[in-house]
Structure 1
């Protein structure tokens, strides 16, 4: 993706700027990104860059320009104090008008093609609501939008699909406010409200003490689901994943495999914590410890596949002969020559048309049993039986449960 600052004409004269992020494809649907009280700072610019990677043309207007141009504050005490001063001096109605002006500017950009949505955080969450109510956008997302109570009378004017993200512990948006907002959109199946247990205001910002990564990831996927459904773009995630695995297991080309991924991807094999974070570490891993250290007879047998808006989950059998030291699965274990088959699950996340990360799960105890390094006697573990029962559910269940037979008299079975 690429980024630059662009000029935006205000409706009452004058010009202000906005941070523009453009996807690698050079064009796409548009997103108007509306700032917190900290300005178009590093967090807002990172959000813009993220959505550009997802395939959108993103414009984040500088809404404090009438007081101070290009405000970019941190989340320390000094930054928070200055942010509160700027918020106190903000004419919110003028900020709405400037947001609408920025929306018009976004639509005029040659890179912006197709539909346009609005996305905002805190102050910007309120502004996204107001923009959706007072002008036309195709979709809107509000993260912990403050000051919405007096604006609920405008809810009927919002015709587009919308998502609200509420932190459970946010004192600025207490339960009664969340309930009032949900009630204002009762009967609207295209308007969703989500509450994040244990999360607080600002949960999306890595630099804040309230950062909650699981809530942030879930909220992003839900926001993206709305934008993808209403505005596009759409990508063939199975085809992208199959090309990636072909390059890993058939072509065996580390650099070509990396080319299917974002600039800074990561992979984590959960049982052994092998993989890599970032381009250089992951390339090193693929080139030296994964591709050449995977048995030549490896087979992937598909069992099921689930495709979401930004991720794919593959359930499969992973079959191989342990004829090489497998750094990533059995590091330090010399080849035993034994055949192994295990259930394996791959959870693959995408950004736009590139892979972003992989979480790979398997039962390491089953592997160790099959290569003879773990005696299953007296332990609640199994060998190749786990793979066989995945394929044939009629095989016996509960064989590891000594008390299974004891309960037969109780149930009559």
Structure 2
């Protein structure tokens, strides 16, 4: 298909957290889009394609989320030819309304609007780099159209409907394509997915993912079908693909090391919180300590963590894995139990015992800010080392767990009384 030529320009109107821009497309009329800017003020561009409910609160929230990840995000109104400024919620009357609007949407018009939105992004002073496309439901199909009909550098579609009818262009991918599918999606069922996979799976620029056990709209907040696990995994895969193709590149190790310095050396709760998103959370899994949201987490840091660690606390690095959106740290956490440690041993008086435990932290970032932490350790080993759990009567080990992490040649299976019976020379 010959690339459609469009005129595009934007004027600004303040609205919500972002701005509304007016776009000149392939006619004299203008349509609008919601524009969200990254905290740094500049970044690569993303066109965010709506579901069948228009540029509603969910679309704006997603635009803001991707902006936090570092992108200049534009969510155009693809229903402007049928009804301008439509904002629907997924209730029964709105679904009927949306389906009537959908009947008037032509693929060639969607491609025209995609090109107009891409042109607007490329002319904005905030743009730094290339542009991509992300879409949900109807927008998932538009993302596929973007990959086959526009020069977007990458296109990502969530549970797109109708892609199986557009596979004549499967051999004409112009850029990277990522598609996420719901395993229980009646709108794109197993038969439809089979056709899509047969056409695209061997394409070097295509990455296809199915999320078993979840339904259509699994990534829409507040949807009955919202699945946090699948949504988070799909988002991580999307951001990883966007980072590789568009950037921006954040040095997560530097950001994490600064956060640790403020926690354990500077011991400044406000400075620590400044390294995080506006509403972060921390969960120390074995004791369920931490906090959700700024107010709760700052209280935790100030009164129960930063100033509650023994003076000789040390963290000895073992390994670190750095991904596109998160860091996994494996450390030895060492201390003498000379004070009550609220987050690790809440309510336990000091025992003056020395403790070493392997500890794993999974640290998620959103853009250049820390989003959340999941911290894991063996609480049984801690309790054994301070004398609150008799290791002679329970299948737990004390400081030996830390020692074996550092030296894998130390004996294995010492807790298994039946281990000796499986030896080749055992009677």
After TM superposition, the score normalised by the length of structure 2 is 0.94
Question: Post-superposition shift, 1:410?
Answer: 6.8
Q: Give 5+ residue unaligned stretches, structure 2.
A: 1-15
Question: Post-superposition shift, 1:192?
Answer: 0.7
Q: Take 2:386 and 2:403, find their aligned partners in 1: how far apart are those partners?
A: 17
Q: 2:406 aligns with which of 388, 391, 410?
A: 391
Q: 2:103 aligns with which of 88, 95, 98?
A: 88
Instruction: Output one character per residue of 1:266-303: Cα deviation in whole Å (capped at 9) or x when no partner.
Output: 10000011111111111111000101111111100000
Question: Post-superposition shift, 1:134?
Answer: 1.2
Instruction: Output one character per residue of 1:299-354: Cα deviation in whole Å (capped at 9) or x when no partner.
Output: 00000000110000000100001111111111111111111000000000001111
Q: 1:142 aligns with which of 152, 157, 164?
A: 157
Q: Give 5+ residue unaligned stretches, structure 1.
A: none
Question: Post-superposition shift, 1:183?
Answer: 2.1
The residue that corresponds to 2:212 in the other structure is: 197
Q: Take 2:366 and 2:224, find their aligned partners in 1: how far apart are those partners?
A: 26
Q: Take 2:399 and 2:410, find their aligned partners in 1: how far apart are those partners?
A: 12
How many residue pairs match? The answer is 412
> What secondary structure is seen at the aligned counterpart in 2 of 1:114?
strand
Indicate whether 1:288 and 2:300 are aligned: no
The residue that corresponds to 2:33 in the other structure is: 18
The residue that corresponds to 2:137 in the other structure is: 122
CA RMSD of aligned residues (A): 1.4
The residue that corresponds to 2:262 in the other structure is: 247
Q: Take 1:15 and 1:410, find their aligned partners in 2: how far apart are those partners?
A: 84
The residue that corresponds to 1:301 in the other structure is: 316
State how 1:197-346 maps to structure 2 within 5 Å: 197-346=212-361
CA contact (8 A) 2:287 2:343 kept: yes
Indicate whether 1:106 and 2:121 are aligned: yes
The residue that corresponds to 1:35 in the other structure is: 50
> Any runs of at least 4 consecutive aligned residues in structure 1 with deviations exceeding 3 A, and if so which?
409-412
Cα distance change, pair 115–401 in 1 and its aligned pair in 2 (3 A): same
CA contact (8 A) 1:339 1:371 kept: yes
Q: 2:92 aligns with which of 77, 82, 94?
A: 77
Instruction: Output one character per residue of 1:25-68: Cα deviation in whole Å (capped at 9) or x when no partner.
Output: 10100001000001111111111111100100000001112222
Cα distance change, pair 186–360 in 1 and its aligned pair in 2 (3 A): closer
CA contact (8 A) 1:366 1:384 kept: yes
The residue that corresponds to 2:184 in the other structure is: 169
CA contact (8 A) 2:280 2:372 kept: yes
Q: Take 1:250 and 1:2, find their aligned partners in 2: how far apart are those partners?
A: 36
Question: Post-superposition shift, 1:221?
Answer: 0.6
> What secondary structure is seen at the aligned counterpart in 2 of 1:193?
strand
CA contact (8 A) 1:75 1:207 kept: no
Instruction: Output one character per residue of 1:93-128: Cα deviation in whole Å (capped at 9) or x when no partner.
Output: 323312221121111111112100011111101111
CA contact (8 A) 1:2 1:23 kept: no
State how 1:178-189 maps to structure 2 within 5 Å: 178-189=193-204
> What secondary structure is seen at the aligned counterpart in 2 of 1:306?
strand
> What secondary structure is seen at the aligned counterpart in 1 of 2:142?
helix
